[in-house]
Amino acid sequence: MYSVELINVDKTYDNKQLVVKDVNITIQSGEFFVLVGPSGCGKSTLLRMIAGLEGISAGTLRIDGKKANHLPPSKRELSMVFQNYALYPHMTVEDNITFGLDVKKIRKKEQRKKCNDIAEMLGLTEYLKRKPRHLSGGQRQRVALARAIITNSPICLMDEPLSNLDAKLRAHMRAEIRELQRKLGITLIYVTHDQVEAMTMGDRIMVLNEGEIQQVGKPIDVYNSPANPFVAKFIGSPPMNLTTGLVNREKHHITLQDQLSIPIDPMVLNNIENNKVIVGIRPENIEISSANSQANLSFEVKIDHLEILGTETLIKFKWNNSDWYAKWHGQWNIDVGQSLQLQLDKDSLCIYDEHTEKLIVKPSNIQKQNVREGII
């Protein structure tokens, strides 16, 4: 399988504004790599540049170690699955799947064998003689997948392939695509705006915003230690709660809303340029205060909204002039309008420099949290 390397890659359409800015990343051979970000962040443009459907304005693209900037798509040894499936309506499922083999002048007998093998793998055998209009959305998606993998291309690109499916089918297809990638060992580059897809499918994910890389890493590492407030708000459902804190250098603590006092290591203070920071905490790390709670991290709120989801309970409340969320395992008997005394787990906080937005303090109790939730 092939690796893909992007070196100082830019993209502009008008020679003024860059829609992709200075992207540097190496996607390893056989890796499931996910590009994730909001609409318009440049992820599909980046994928199309790798495919050869968009030109590269500056920088270098290497496929399997060889420069590929000016190679036509047909010479890049890759396949692509589009958001709209792009099936030929007048052709049968079998003809759609084998279309790429026709172009490569592979004999009909070998085409049929390959098609039957792929169809059996994806559960399409009984649909081979049907036209795409007679298939469901999930079946059409499988046909598009079959057409992409039958060519044995070492790289497969997918551009939001599940966005047209309902939630239940999306969950099924996520598992199916991931299993298929592992079985074939291909290098798969996957674009999505859905952070659930990114978290559950990728070996690594790259978070993009306005054409710039925000963070690259394993999904769980990005979730636990987001590199900046944008990643903290984008990854996670509900997102990380963020608020502004004031630094007291003499007393070595950070104050939130003149109410909570968070002790901080004096050595960390040396890395903070201003007297303001951004403090973040995941909803699952906000707890109900108990008798032995630390008073300086406890605060009272009024519940604005409540969702009991069966396995977990989600509450929403106003704090420090913004909407905050807490998420707890199980079903909680709480009413809207009720007052609750909550507390922050100081070892679960992310602290960012307000000016640079760089992560200064990572959560230190991730291991402890995972044990409490029964993950480890």
pLDDT digits (tens, 9 = 90+) for 44-91: 999 999 999 999 999 999 999 999 999 999 899 999 998 888 899 999
pLDDT tens across 285-316, in order?
A: 999 887 666 666 888 999 999 999 989 999 99
Cα distances (angstroms) measured from residue 283 to each of 61, 264, 309, 324, 329: 40, 21, 15, 8, 11
Under the banding of pLDDT at 50, 70 and 90, the label for residue 155 is very high
Q: At what angle do helices 137-149 and 108-122 cross, to 10 degrees?
A: 130
* Residue 362: other Cβ atoms inside 10 A: 12
Exposure string for 37-63, b = 16+ CB within 10 A, e = fewer: beeebbbbbbbbbbbbebebeebebbb
For 200, counting Cβ atoms within 10 Å of its Cβ (0-12 exposed, 13-18 middle, 19+ buried), the class is: middle
Under the banding of pLDDT at 50, 70 and 90, the label for residue 249 is confident
Domains and CATH numbers, the chain: 4-224 (3.40.50.300), 229-372 (2.40.50.140)
pLDDT tens across 178-235, in order?
A: 998 998 899 999 999 998 999 999 999 999 999 999 999 999 999 999 999 999 999 9
Structure tokens of 225?
């230690």
What is the rounded CA–CA span in Å between residue 147 and residue 27? 23
Exposure string for 248-281, b = 16+ CB within 10 A, e = fewer: eeeeebbebeeebbbebeeeeeeebeeeebbbbb
Q: Which CB contacts under 8 angstroms, 24+ apart, belong to 286-292?
A: 286/241, 286/324, 286/326, 286/342, 286/343, 286/344, 286/345, 287/326, 287/342, 287/343, 287/345, 288/340, 288/341, 288/342, 288/343, 289/341, 289/342, 289/343
SS3 68: coil
Q: At what angle do helices 137-149 and 93-103 cross, to 10 degrees?
A: 20
Residue 370 has pLDDT above 50, yes or no: no
**Pairing status of strand 187-192 against strand 32-36:** parallel
Spell out the residues 6+ positions from residue 116 whose beta carbon is closer than 8 angstroms to its own.
125, 128
Under the banding of pLDDT at 50, 70 and 90, the label for residue 10 is very high
Cα distances (angstroms) measured from residue 298 to each of 279, 302, 346: 15, 14, 11
